[in-house]
């Protein structure tokens, strides 16, 4: 049952005290109704009101904290099935699989790969976030594995995959303060497993043969008053696994059934059956369709570059376009003779323009002023990409010291700015570029030929 | 509360569009569900995977691919035959890059000859893509559609700028299928379908190309556009959006930083060819998972992976 903002407002003290961080009680209530804020943020709610609200306003999908310190993150908390309906909130996380059957050398190699694949893409750190540590039958080796991964110092959250509470008890001694996920609850062991994790409130992973059994298992675990859960999607085939992932998310969000209102785990490595490209395909599918943790066999740049980029796109808030940091970027080894090309900080525009400039192989400086994250025409219309702001950026960015060229290329769509810019930047020759980025290679080629002819 | 599967039935249905002739002809669309949601209803025809070839030798392709094709890539008809025999994709996409005014600026007549030779050399359905230059494509397609009459090809693409001539040539005069290209926007896609309809092209002869980008390059717009188009087509039974969707993945994925940087430029990144495949596989899988009915890829490994992938959901 969903409450409206007004329903909630009626239960607030209506004092507009701002202690919750919002200007009015109504504004706060609207946020709570939208699932963006917890009712507890208001310190003045009566117990009676709180009780009434907590059930009704609990988000349909739990947002679960995993890991600790640097590697703490949230999973789940989604409110929509399609990103255009609002936005996806907590991006899926990638794990790499380790087992007690691996040799020390192999463990180290995987850890090295995780360390190596670590980069920033449009302001977001891209790396593997979870070590999936799977018990295959040798307890001593398993405990050693957990120890080895922990002592490696690689910044990771842990997911212990094991169905034997006795083995887990020992392994947990090593990492229980790191808020690891304990994955492996089944119909037989669920009571022992809940006992194992409840003191530390660790996220508990449930797995079952079929989705209906999983549903019943969740009910049993919830019956023990334990609600820090993640759900396994494992089916015998990719098709079945996909069905499970979609059903879990849909029943939680569309049918508001809180039994499935938890993040999910997908073992893309197992679905891929040692085929790296299939692993990439499966991981892409589950990045779009409802995997919260996606387990890979190993990581390298060939997998990471497209998968992390896809995830970054999919989890972008549709109401807040991605932006690149305003700066002057050298492309194709731009040097003191390279011309300057200006465009906006809207990430999509930047990437398309940068891509075409790269394709042209012409060394070029790409000047990106703060244009509010809009596309060229929108930014211009909104007054965020005008002659004044471009000129100011060119002067303050210090680009005049980086290149002797005084050619400044303007996007063809804002050719109208040419005259004004010439007044603002008398030292520069303002050149109107093409309207479409795809024509940049030809344009830049001609520009450099002219330059050469003049020299 | 007892467990109950969540089933979503839709009134709308995606049109079934056939491309090609004879035994190897393929059908796109026909589903009443979102992609791979067979727990909801009839998922229609399986998604189709095509291989890209070009009318001019592909100088800038990765070395591994050029070596794989060898001399076959020097003659489009030989090349198409090689692809049909060795790779067996669902269809072949001939890209008429040589006609680009910024490149070789080949004449429409030359293009028509190449297309005819290709279509006659193979049994597989043929998708014919232009240069992306609307004006030139209109002229090229006028000749090409006539040259391959009777082969039921799909033409990529008619755009807002040239839909009248492309639609008339492909869809009306010579009985082909029209690819309707818009740029990642549900309203533009819808508008172009309506315009083609007003011209007399039947909805059942249209396949949408709603734009493409590589994963990481504004791909979220593509995802949301396809999501919205499919929900409008299925849930609201919007006839103007019930066309199958084709996405030429390889046209975009091989031109981004992740796939053009040589190993010497980015030593950590490893083999360029492998990066090309993973970018192609990620982009193709992603667009198929939100609803595309056909994708075009470049690398045989991508084709193999995508065919296997689609098979697992059949």
Window from A78-92, A256-270, A342-356 with minimum mean pLDDT: A342-356
Domains in chain B (CATH in brackets) are 16-312 (3.20.20.20)
Among the candidates A253, A284, A314, a domain finishes at A314
Q: Compute the distance between CA of residue B163 and CA of residue A136 in angstroms, rounded to an integer.
A: 61
Q: Would you call A302 an interface residue with chain B, using a CB distance cutoff of 8 Å?
A: yes
Q: Compute the distance between CA of residue B61 and CA of residue B258 in angstroms, rounded to an integer.
A: 14
List all residues of chain A from 86 to 125 with a beta carbon under 8 Å from chain B. Answer: 116, 121
CA triple A87-A92-A97, angle to 5 deg: 175
Give tens-digit pLDDT for B40-83: 999 999 999 999 999 999 999 999 999 999 999 999 999 999 99
A303 and A182, same structural domain? yes
Residue A319 has pLDDT above 80, yes or no: yes
Give tens-digit pLDDT for B168-205: 999 999 999 999 999 999 999 999 999 999 999 999 99
A266 and A181, same structural domain? yes
Give A272: exposed, middle or buried? Use CB within 10 Å, 0-12, 13-18, 19+. Answer: buried
What is the Cα A208 distance to its own chain's centre? 28
pTM to 2 decimals?
0.89
CA torsion, ordered A158, A161, A166, A167, to nearest 10 deg: -70
Give tens-digit pLDDT for B88-100: 999 999 999 999 9
Q: Compute the distance between CA of residue B251 and CA of residue B169 in angstroms, rounded to an integer.
A: 24
Give tens-digit pLDDT for B104-135: 999 999 999 999 999 999 999 999 999 999 99
A209 and A87, same structural domain? yes
- Which residue from B140, B151, B161 is spatially nearest to B95, judged by alpha carbons? B140
Query: What's the confidence (pLDDT) of residue A55?
Result: 65
Higher pLDDT, A423 or A351: A423
Among the candidates A314, A348, A382, a domain finishes at A314
Give tens-digit pLDDT for A96-112: 999 999 999 999 999 99
How many residue pairs bridge chain A and chain B with CB atoms within 8 Å of each other? 165
A287 and A334, same structural domain? no
A75 and A187, same structural domain? yes
- Whether residue A144 lies inside any domain: the answer is yes
Residue with tokens 């066999």: A297
Residue B1 has pLDDT above 90, yes or no: no
Strand partners of residue B92: B51, B126
- Whether residue A319 lies inside any domain: the answer is no
A233 and A344, same structural domain? no
A71 and A49, same structural domain? no
Give tens-digit pLDDT for A436-450: 888 899 999 999 888
Q: Which ranges of chain B would DSSP assign to H, the alpha helix?
A: 63-69, 76-86, 108-121, 134-147, 163-166, 186-199, 219-234, 249-253, 257-260, 272-290, 300-312
- Whether residue A320 lies inside any domain: the answer is no
Q: State what percent of residues in chain B have pLDDT above 90.
A: 94
A71 and A53, same structural domain? no
A243 and A97, same structural domain? yes
Q: Quote the mean pLDDT of chain B.
A: 96
Query: What's the confidence (pLDDT) of residue A455?
Result: 67
Instruction: Say whether A277 and B227 touch across the interface (CB within 8 A).
Output: no
Q: Would you call A83 an interface residue with chain B, using a CB distance cutoff of 8 Å?
A: yes
Interface probe with B: pick from A217, A246, A281, most Cβ of B within 10 Å: A281
Bond prior to A397 in cis (omega within 30° of 0): no
What's the longest Cα–Cα distance across chain B?
69
- Whether residue A321 lies inside any domain: the answer is no
CATH number reported for the structural domain that contains residue A24 in this entry: 1.10.15.40
DSSP string of A253-312, one letter each residue: HTS--GGG-S-EEEEHHHHHTT-HHHHHHHHHHHHHTT-SEEEES---HHHHHHHHHHHH
Q: Compute the distance between CA of residue B181 and CA of residue B165 in angstroms, rounded to an integer.
A: 14
Query: What's the confidence (pLDDT) of residue A57?
Result: 67
Going edge to edge, which strands form the sheet with B154-158? B206-209, B177-181, B154-158, B126-129, B91-95, B48-54, B294-297, B246-247
Instruction: Say whether B282 and A284 touch across the interface (CB within 8 A).
Output: yes
> Which residue of A216, A238, A309 is in closest CB contact with B312?
A238
CA triple A103-A107-A108, angle to 5 deg: 115
- Whether residue A163 lies inside any domain: the answer is yes
Region A289-297: mean pLDDT is 98
Minimal Cα–Cα distance from B92 to chain A, Å?
22
For chain A, what's the residue count?
455
Q: Compute the distance between CA of residue A386 and CA of residue B168 in angstroms, rounded to an integer.
A: 43
- Whether residue A13 lies inside any domain: the answer is yes
For residues B63-83, one letter each, b for 16 or more C-beta atoms within 10 angstroms of the residue's C-beta and e for the rest, the string is: ebbeebbeebbebbbbbbbbb
> Which residue of B1, B217, B278 is in closest CB contact with A302?
B278
Total number of domains in chain A: 3
Residue numbers in A near B223 (CB within 8 A): 83, 288, 313-314
Q: Compute the distance between CA of residue B19 and CA of residue B282 in angstroms, rounded to an integer.
A: 26
Q: Quote the mean pLDDT of chain A.
A: 93
Higher pLDDT, A64 or A59: A64
Q: Would you call A275 an interface residue with chain B, using a CB distance cutoff of 8 Å?
A: yes
Query: What's the confidence (pLDDT) of residue A118?
Result: 96
Evaluate the CA torsion angle A286, A315, A82, B189 in order and state its sign: negative
What are the backbone dihedrals phi and psi of residue B244, each rounded to the nearest 5 degrees, phi first?
Answer: -65, 165
> Which residue of B216, B285, B304 is in closest CB contact with A285?
B285
CA triple B27-B29-B30, angle to 5 deg: 100
Q: Are B234 and B271 in contact (CB under 8 A)?
A: no
Region A285-299: mean pLDDT is 98
Minimal Cα–Cα distance from B224 to chain A, Å?
6
Minimal Cα–Cα distance from A361 to chain B, Å?
11
Going edge to edge, which strands form the sheet with A364-368? A327-331, A364-368, A340-342, A407-410, A429-432
Query: What's the confidence (pLDDT) of residue A36?
Result: 77
Instruction: Say whether A237 and B228 touch across the interface (CB within 8 A).
Output: no
List all residues of chain A from 28 to 47 with a beta carbon under 8 Å from chain B. Answer: none
Higher pLDDT, B39 or A123: B39
Instruction: Please report how the helices B219-234 and B186-199 are oriented relative to each other, as an axis angle in degrees rounded to 10.
Output: 60
Query: What's the confidence (pLDDT) of residue A2?
Result: 61
Instruction: Say whether B224 and A318 touch across the interface (CB within 8 A).
Output: yes
Window from A12-26, A144-158, A238-252 with minimum mean pLDDT: A12-26
A421 and A368, same structural domain? yes
Q: Would you call A352 an interface residue with chain B, using a CB distance cutoff of 8 Å?
A: yes
Evaluate the CA torsion angle A390, A396, A397, A402 in order and state its sign: positive
Task: Give the domain range for residue A34.
Answer: 5-57
> Which residue of A246, A281, A355 is in closest CB contact with B257?
A355
Q: Which helix (H) or strand (E) holds A244?
A: helix A238-253
Evaluate the CA torsion angle B281, B287, B292, B297 in order and state its sign: negative
Tokens of A262: 């938890």
Query: What's the confidence (pLDDT) of residue A1?
Result: 46
Residue A127 has pLDDT above 60, yes or no: yes
A349 and A210, same structural domain? no
CATH number reported for the structural domain that contains residue A246 in this entry: 3.20.20.20
Instruction: Say whether B278 and A359 touch across the interface (CB within 8 A).
Output: no
- Whether residue A322 lies inside any domain: the answer is no
- Whether residue A241 lies inside any domain: the answer is yes
A118 and A11, same structural domain? no
């Amino acid at each position: 049952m969903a409450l409206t903002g007004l329903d909630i407002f009626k239960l607030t003290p209506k004092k507009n005290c701002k202690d919750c961080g919002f200007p009015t009680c109504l504004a706060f209530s609207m946020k709570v109704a939208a699932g963006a804020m917890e009712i507890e943020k208001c310190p003045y709610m009566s117990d009676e009101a709180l009780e009434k609200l907590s059930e009704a306003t609990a988000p349909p999908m739990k947002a679960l904290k995993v890991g600790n310190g640097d590697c703490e993150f949230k999973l789940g908390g989604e409110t929509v099935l399609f990103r255009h309906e609002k936005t996806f909130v907590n991006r899926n996380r990638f794990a790499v699989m380790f087992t007690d059957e691996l040799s020390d050398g192999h463990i180290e190699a995987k850890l090295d790969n995780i360390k190596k694949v670590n980069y920033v893409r449009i302001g977001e750190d891209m790396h593997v976030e979870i070590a999936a540590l799977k018990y295959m039958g040798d307890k001593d080796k398993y405990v050693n594995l957990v120890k080895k991964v922990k002592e490696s110092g690689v910044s990771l959250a842990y997911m212990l995959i094991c169905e034997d509470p006795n083995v887990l008890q020992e392994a947990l001694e090593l990492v229980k303060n790191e808020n690891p996920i304990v994955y492996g609850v089944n119909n037989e062991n669920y009571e022992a497993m809940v006992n194992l994790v409840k003191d530390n409130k660790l996220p508990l992973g449930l797995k079952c043969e079929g989705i209906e059994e999983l549903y019943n298992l969740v009910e049993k675990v919830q019956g023990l008053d334990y609600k820090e859960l993640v759900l396994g999607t494992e089916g015998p085939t990719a098709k079945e696994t996909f069905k499970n992932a979609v059903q879990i998310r849909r029943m939680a969000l569309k049918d508001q059934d809180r039994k499935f209102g938890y993040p999910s785990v997908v073992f893309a490595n197992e679905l891929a059956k040692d085929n790296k490209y299939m692993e990439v395909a499966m991981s892409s599918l589950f990045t779009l369709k409802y995997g919260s943790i996606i387990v890979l066999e190993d990581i390298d740049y060939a997998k990471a570059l497209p998968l992390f980029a896809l995830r970054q796109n999919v989890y972008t808030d549709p109401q807040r376009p991605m932006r690149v940091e305003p700066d002057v970027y050298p492309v194709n080894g731009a040097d003191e003779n390279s011309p300057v090309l200006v465009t906006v900080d809207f990430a999509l525009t930047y990437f398309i323009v940068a891509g075409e400039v790269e394709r042209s192989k012409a060394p070029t400086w790409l000047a990106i002023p703060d244009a509010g994250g809009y596309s060229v025409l929108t930014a211009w219309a909104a007054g965020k990409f005008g002659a004044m702001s471009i000129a100011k950026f060119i002067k303050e960015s210090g680009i005049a010291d980086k290149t002797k060229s005084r050619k400044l290329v303007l996007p063809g769509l804002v050719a109208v700015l040419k005259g004004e810019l010439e007044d603002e930047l008398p030292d520069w020759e303002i050149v109107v570029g093409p309207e479409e980025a795809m024509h940049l290679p030809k344009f830049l080629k001609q520009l450099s030929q002219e330059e050469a002819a003049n020299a | 509360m007892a467990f109950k599967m969540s089933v979503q039935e839709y009134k709308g249905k995606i049109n079934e569009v056939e491309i090609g002739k004879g035994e190897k002809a393929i059908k796109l669309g026909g589903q009443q569900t979102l992609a791979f949601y067979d727990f909801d209803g009839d998922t229609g025809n399986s998604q189709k995977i095509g291989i890209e070839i070009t009318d001019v030798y592909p100088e800038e392709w990765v070395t591994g691919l050029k070596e794989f094709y060898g001399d076959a890539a020097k003659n489009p008809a030989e090349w198409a035959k090689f692809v049909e025999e060795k790779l067996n994709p669902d269809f072949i996409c001939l890209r008429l890059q040589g006609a680009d005014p910024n490149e070789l600026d080949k004449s429409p007549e030359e293009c028509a000859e190449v297309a005819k030779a290709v279509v006659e050399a193979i049994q597989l359905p043929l998708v014919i893509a232009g240069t992306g230059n609307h004006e030139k494509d209109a002229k090229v397609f006028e000749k090409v559609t006539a040259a391959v009459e009777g082969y039921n090809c799909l033409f990529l693409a008619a755009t807002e700028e040239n839909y009248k001539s492309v639609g008339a040539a492909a869809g009306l005069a010579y009985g082909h299928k029209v690819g309707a290209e818009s740029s990642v926007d549900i309203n533009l896609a819808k508008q172009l379908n309506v315009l083609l309809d007003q011209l007399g092209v039947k909805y059942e002869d249209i396949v949408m190309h709603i734009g493409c980008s590589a994963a990481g390059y504004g791909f979220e717009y593509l995802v949301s556009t396809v999501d919205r188009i499919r929900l409008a087509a299925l849930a609201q039974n919007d006839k103007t959006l019930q066309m199958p969707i084709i996405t030429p993945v390889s046209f975009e994925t091989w031109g981004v930083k992740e796939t053009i940087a040589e190993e010497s430029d980015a030593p950590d990144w490893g083999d360029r060819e492998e990066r090309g495949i993973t970018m192609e596989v990620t982009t193709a899988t992603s667009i198929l998972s939100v609803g595309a009915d056909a994708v075009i890829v470049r690398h045989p490994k991508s084709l193999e992976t995508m065919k296997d992938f689609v098979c697992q959901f059949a």
